[in-house]
Amino acid sequence: MNIFRLTGDLSHLAAIIILLLKIWKSRSCAGISGKSQILFAIVFTTRYLDLLSTFISLYNSCMKVIYIGCAYATVYMIYMKFRATYDGNHDSFRVEFLVVPVGGLAVLINHDFSFMEILWTFSIYLESVAILPQLFMISKTGEAETITTHYLFCLGLYRALYIFNWVWRFYFEGFFDLIAIVAGVVQTILYCDFFYLYVTKVLKGKKLSLPA
């Protein structure tokens, strides 16, 4: 494992922990898109079904279990435990406009036309756009809490680091996965405007406000 993948995984884990701690400590899921979290739960479920049949390493298996467990814990807290604080009115992105096209694309463009491979491809495509309901919600409300922006920054950083991971693996291992690379680049692009606002405002102690 190279340093880019390791730091990318740690950044991803940090994003998940930040989100869970934010909800638990504040006893509120205000400003969090439940729809994005449902999409991430679907991503991890469809991607890591091989957890039941394939063992790569203890690290790999533990990370898969953590991602799946944390994803469903987040969904539970948003829609069950702290449901009264969930802002469903602003979390109005039509997720079917993401899931249906992504599902069709996974069937049409994949490495191997098999059930597990299509599910893996579906998870890769879906992850690239799963954050859109969250970004749409922030845009609709016009601002985001600092802790929410830290979560988004770590999530975007994870994807950016994985691009460097793929470059490393191409040059040193001869590994190249066009589907994962294109999806990762698309996802990173979605964060670009947010990265700029994060650096220019949040890191200077200003409240992040986005145009509605």
pLDDT tens digits for 20-49? 999 999 999 988 999 999 999 999 999 999
Q: 143 by DSSP, 3-state: which? A: strand
Confidence band for 122, pLDDT divided at 50, 70 and 90: very high
CB 31 within 8 A of CB 145: yes
Domain positions in the chain are: 3-201
Which two three-digit tokens encode residue 131?
């954050």
d(CA 164, CA 158): 10
CB 23 within 8 A of CB 77: yes
Q: What does pLDDT average to over the chain?
A: 88
CB 162 within 8 A of CB 8: yes
Read off φ and ψ for residue 156, nearest 5 degrees: -70, -35
Q: Which residue has the tokens 């994985």?
A: 162
CB 102 within 8 A of CB 122: yes
Residues 6+ apart with CB under 8 A from 105: 125
Residues 6+ apart with CB under 8 A from 13: 63, 66
**Mean pLDDT of the 1-26 span:** 93
Distance set, CA 22 to CA 64, 130, 147, 181, 183 (Å): 22, 20, 7, 31, 28
Confidence band for 69, pLDDT divided at 50, 70 and 90: very high
